[in-house]
Structure 1
Amino acid sequence: MSIDTPETTARTVEGAEKVDQQFAQLAEWLGQRDDLPITGRYAEYLRSKIGTGNAGTLHFEQGKKASAFSKKNMADRLHRPGKADRSVFVRTADAPFDNYGRLLAYLAPNYSAEERAGMTRAQRATFNLDLVREGWAAPFIIYPSIPGEADLPMFLDAAARAVTAGKGIWGESLTMPAYEYRAVEKLYDIAATIVAGKTPKDRYSWRQRYCVDMRTRRLHGPEDYIDIDPVYRLWIWPGDVRAAIADLNLIPAPRLVDAD
């Protein structure tokens, strides 16, 4: 919960190479056609990332590295020399599963009350935070499931330090956070349908969430999240926008107000 690790849904090197080809093809279409459901501004942003011919492979390799780090980190933090390993503490979100059936939760070592008494909040960090701290997960906070007032600053500081230091996925300038990668997969399918002369079921289903800059409380449209530093993106589903504006005192960005 609140993080997004690179996808390994390509499953194999060959699968990742197929994604390479699909994304490169999409980059060509974005440069040639004006009937695709995307703004020219965002198309240019994407083309720089997906036209390389190895965007799928890069993401797949990052996913494997993130998985390897997570497994080792969990084993290390759960281990107790001479004793049974600690169990895992699980705190689920209000809606415990996402659209892909994956559990949304914070995970941490289940320290005893005695252990917790002698530890700082940072030492008791969740495995979620560990992934962010080491650059193997992008922040992915979705309203209204926002970390508490004591946890949010620690979370954002860890993310900012990872980005600045070029840790994990942030060591590559062409990195796509997993939410961006999944959106591009959907956009490819929609674009392929249009190029084939058919009508997609929902042209804009590839991008739905609005995005807020947590530093300014400015609300941006679905394609304008690129104007926000990845550390400070707060995502909002369309059905929650009205409530979020009231709850968080949001200010719509000029581009959103002027949109047709």
Structure 2
Amino acid sequence: MAVPTFNPAKAKVILPAPGKAETGDGDTMRLDLPFRLVSVDTPEKSNVGGKPAVAQKRLDAALEVLGELSGRSGVPSGFADYFAPRIADGGAVRHYAAAEEATNQLRKLRAETTTGAKGKARELAVIPAGEVVDGNGRMLAYVAPYLTKAERDRLPVTSRKRRTFNLSLVAEGWAASFPIWPSFPSRRTDLDAFLDAAGTAWRRGKGNWAGGNKAALLTGYEFRALIKIGRARLDGILQSDGTRREATSRDFLSAFERRCVDRAGVNHGRFGFVAVPHGDRLWSWTQKAAGELQDYLGA
């Protein structure tokens, strides 16, 4: 089963270097379009969880909720145990520090790989994938420095200048791999290489996984889900009439929306991802999409 996406040759968009003037005609527009580097998930900044003290309070409240729900409502027993060391002893501070580091590393990566001959800014190669544009108006894409064929031939395949930013971030440990069906690389070999790189970075403690963070750092997805749960526990659920009601177990568990399917094609549902190593986690939004993903994997 092929990934339902655009033909790569037709999907590639070459964007002008930043600041380069461009004149369009009557049917051409140049837009400043934000890009979401698809299949990667970096830690969140404080705009998602609030200041560190506030975020920590929400994470602690979420851990309490998950402890209460473990073994109930389809939640595996011991589900909260996975999160406990990732929240304890300043989990919010660790997460925000990792977010800043990931941001700095992306800036550094861009600067190092998009500077061409004589310091000239290099254009970007953008390959949209799957959904193309998300609900926030961001293009979902794999992004890399644009190289001519001659330049590609001169560089070894392992060169950072040949890799997408997406791949570099997971290979160097600054992001968790987060491929969501069907926004996958168009070639299965590229997906396998991406997942292999992510798993290796995690096992070897690269980047933000260093210093014991393999068991002490929440991924962006995990952090967002726990903040949502903590808010619901502490503040209740805002209703259409402006009042708030007490959150239910369904409200709490809706924070885990995606289904996790591992590389062998086993569907772990919404909560089983905690038992799946990094580099083996693939995701879908619905149970139906999880089935499509399993077919793609040959399960």
Fold shared, TM-score > 0.5 on shorter chain: yes
Cα distance, 1:165–1:199 mapped onto 2, change above 3 Å = closer
Query: Counterpart in 1 of 2:289?
Result: 240
- Correspondence list, 1:89-168, <5 A: 89-123=125-159, 124-147=162-185, 148-168=187-207
Letter in 1 for 2:267: L
Q: Residue type of the partner of 2:262?
A: D
Hey, what's the Cα distance between the residues in 1 that align with 2:276 and 2:221?
15
Shift of 1:103: 3.2
Residue pair 2:58, 2:231 contacting (<8 A) in 1 also:
no
Q: Match of 2:108, SS?
A: helix
Unaligned runs of 5+ in 2: 1-37, 238-243
How much has 1:11 moved relative to structure 2?
A: 7.6
- Unaligned 5+ runs, structure 1: 251-260
Change (3 A) 1:232 1:33: closer
The structure showing larger relative contact order (alpha-carbon pairs under 8 Å, at least 6 residues apart) is: 2
Contact kept in structure 1, 2:129 and 2:141, CA below 8 Å: yes
> In the alignment, does 2:102 pair up with 1:66?
yes
Partner amino acid, structure 1, of 2:81: E
Determine the structure 1 residue equivalent to 2:14: none
The code of the aligned residue for 2:154 comes to G
Counterpart CA distance in 1 for 2:119 and 2:69 is 63
CA contact (8 A) 1:10 1:60 kept: no
Superposition deviation, residue 33 in structure 1: 7.2
Aligned 8 A contact 2:58 2:226 in 1? no
Q: 1:211-250 counterparts in 2 under 5 A?
A: 211-214=260-263, 216-238=264-286, 239-250=288-299
2:85 to 27, 48, 58: 48
Q: Distance in 2 between matches of 1:183 and 1:55?
A: 14
Structure 2 residue 113 is the aligned partner of structure 1 residue 77: yes
CA separation in 1, counterparts of 2:103 and 2:296? 36
Contact 2:233 2:247 in 1 (8 A): no
Deviation at 1:73, TM superposition (A): 1.2
Q: What secondary structure, in the 3-state scheme, does the structure 1 residue paired with 2:179 have?
A: strand
Q: Conserved in 1, the CA contact under 8 Å of 2:70 and 2:78? A: no
Contact 1:23 1:53 in 2 (8 A): no
The CA RMSD over aligned residues, in Å, is 2.7
**Which residue number in structure 1 is paired with residue 217 of structure 2?**
175
* TM-superposed deviation, 1:122: 3.2
Structure 2 length-normalised TM = 0.73
Given the alignment of the two structures, is residue 20 of structure 1 paired with residue 71 of structure 2, yes or no? no
Are residues 243 and 188 of structure 1, via their aligned partners in 2, closer, same or farther at CA, if it must alter by over 3 Å?
Answer: same
Cα distance in 2 for partners of 1:18, 1:107 equals 34
CA gap of 1:199–1:183, structure 2 versus 1, over 3 A, is closer
Q: Which moved more, 1:133-142 or 1:15-24?
A: 15-24
Read off the aligned partner of 1:241 and give its amino acid letter: A
Q: Distance in 1 between matches of 2:268 and 2:280?
A: 12
Aligned residues: 246
Q: Does the CA-based 8 Å contact 2:61-2:233 persist in structure 1?
A: no
Q: For residues 202 and 80 of structure 2, what CA distance do their matches in structure 1 show?
A: 24
CA contact (8 A) 1:36 1:191 kept: no
3-state SS in 1 of match to 2:78: helix
Q: Which amino acid aligns with 1:132?
A: V
Following superposition, the deviation at residue 164 of structure 1 comes to 2.3
Deviations 1:189-245 (A, max 9, x none): 233328x8624584432012111110x221111100111111110111114123334
CA positional deviation for 1:138: 0.5
User: For 2:66 and 2:95, how far apart are their aligned partners in 1?
Assistant: 21
Asked whether the equivalents of residues 70 and 79 of structure 2 are also in contact (C-alpha less than 8 Å), the reply is no
Residue aligned with 2:51, SS: helix
The percentage of counterpart residues that share the same residue type is: 31
Distance 1:160 1:222 in 2: 21
CA contact (8 A) 2:43 2:98 kept: yes
